[in-house]
Amino acid sequence: MPVNWHRWLPIASATVLAVLAAPAAAGWSLFADPATPIAARVGSLFNLILLITGVIFVGVWAVLGVAIWRFRHRPGQEPRLVHGNVLVEVIWTVVPAILLLVIAVPAYSTLMAEEQFPPIDMTVEVIGHQWYWEYRYPASGLRLVNQPLRLPARRNVKLILTSADVIHNWYVPDFAFKLSTIPGRVNQMWLRVERPGTYAGQCAELCGTLHSRMGIAVEAMPPERFASWQTATLASSQTATLAQATAPGGGGGRELYETNCASCHQPGGGGLAGAIPPLGGAEIPNGPADEHIRTVLHGRQGPLTVKGHLYNGVMPPFVQLTDGEIAAIISYERTSWGNHGGPVSADQVRNLRGR
Ligand SMILES: [Cu+2]
């Protein structure tokens, strides 16, 4: 007994179309309200290609459907043998060639728009680390570690991207581009965020055990607010450095710890089971100061047993911090969370630099 599957075909097609169309109808689109000029171009390119491929999709399935129906098997009927058809072959060569050209022209001009930087108002360096992002503002000397990237809205920003260890990828879907950060290599992109707001992203290159923690947040602020935020942040980081310079091993240790270390070792110093060793009650923060200082200055990797558990990760070096900053962090670690290793001085750190 034949199955009347073709009765279900219209219902099945309608369901598939509805499932495909629903997100668009609900306004779920990255391109509905583009955040940057590039995102607008990428969005219209995407829509053009979607339209062309959609028409091809419907056309091919319509012809296929007609063929299946009209030329289905009938008892006692032999099909006619056909050897080539010049007209049909010319059509299916020329039409795709024209379509490819129609897609190539706007695709190329979008690529060019990404490559041709407009006059730049501000430059930011993006540095990927296992497993956090660092942003440097060369013009002001400001540096953000494991914090949202702040940008002025409606300004042309140049991003210079690289990595301190392995390949990461800086990806914010709203900006419609995705760039690898590669050790020893520099990538560039420009960005003009039209609307103030917060844009979320994520490292898009599997970069090790804590890859999933490399989230990205970009906060685009009205330009006047950005300027005052930058001045205030610079002033407060200068006072912090000053306080450490005058009182070695003193103030700012907690803040510096939270900025530089807490993303891995956690704000309470508890570490992350199996990946990051704890600092509270651990051997090194309660042992000789030199070993602790070397660990922070030069980083460490390879098997390490802490409180009876084996770790085998990579602790990044922190040579970029000043002697006073490192002394402040280490003193904070050695006197918090039940530790009694005792404070260290900036001089102790200076003596171990380069060794
Ligand atoms: Cu990463």
The size of the chain, in residues, is 355
- Rounded CA-CA distance 175/178 in Å is 8
CA of 163 to the centre of ligand 1 (A): 9
Residue 195 has pLDDT above 80, yes or no: yes
- Rounded CA-CA distance 128/174 in Å is 20
CA of 122 to the centre of ligand 1 (A): 25
134 bridge partner residues: 127, 145
CA of 165 to the centre of ligand 1 (A): 10
CA of 264 to the centre of ligand 1 (A): 13
Amino acid identity of residue 127, one-letter, is: I
CA of 84 to the centre of ligand 1 (A): 54
pLDDT at 243: 47
Q: If you average pLDDT over residues 219-230, what whole number do you get?
A: 95
Q: If you average pLDDT over residues 145-159, what whole number do you get?
A: 92
* Percent of residues, the chain, with pLDDT higher than 90: 55
CA of 345 to the centre of ligand 1 (A): 34
Secondary structure (3-state) at 176: coil
Query: Do 124 and 157 meet the contact criterion of CB atoms below 8 Å apart?
Result: yes
CA of 129 to the centre of ligand 1 (A): 7
CA of 205 to the centre of ligand 1 (A): 6
CA of 206 to the centre of ligand 1 (A): 6
Candidates 287, 286, 296; CA nearest to 327 is 296
CA of 93 to the centre of ligand 1 (A): 44
Per-residue pLDDT of 102-132, as tens digits, reads 999 999 999 999 999 999 999 999 999 888 8
Candidates 55, 62, 30; CA nearest to 44 is 30
- Rounded CA-CA distance 57/199 in Å is 34
CA of 154 to the centre of ligand 1 (A): 28
Query: Do 218 and 144 meet the contact criterion of CB atoms below 8 Å apart?
Result: no
Angle at which helices 253-260 and 323-334 pack, to 10 degrees?
100
Q: If you average pLDDT over residues 33-59, what whole number do you get?
A: 91
> Can you list the positions of beta strands (E) in 155-225?
157-163, 168-172, 177-181, 187-191, 197-203, 215-221
Question: Positive or negative, the Cα torsion across 262, 265, 271, 276?
Answer: positive
CA of 336 to the centre of ligand 1 (A): 30
- Rounded CA-CA distance 94/100 in Å is 10
Q: If you average pLDDT over residues 279-300, what whole number do you get?
A: 91
CA of 202 to the centre of ligand 1 (A): 8
Whole-structure pTM value: 0.64
CA of 313 to the centre of ligand 1 (A): 15
CA of 88 to the centre of ligand 1 (A): 51
CA of 299 to the centre of ligand 1 (A): 18
Secondary structure (3-state) at 204: coil
**Average of per-residue pLDDT values in the chain:** 88
CA of 152 to the centre of ligand 1 (A): 25
pLDDT at 27: 72
Residue 315 has pLDDT above 50, yes or no: yes
CA of 212 to the centre of ligand 1 (A): 8
**What is the DSSP secondary structure assignment for residue 284, as one 8-state letter?**
G
pLDDT at 247: 44
> Higher confidence at residue 13 or residue 137?
137
CA of 342 to the centre of ligand 1 (A): 35
Angle CA(130)–CA(136)–CA(139) in degrees, nearest 5? Answer: 170
pLDDT grade for 354, boundaries at 50, 70 and 90 = low
CA of 155 to the centre of ligand 1 (A): 27
Candidates 141, 145, 197; CA nearest to 172 is 197
CA of 120 to the centre of ligand 1 (A): 27
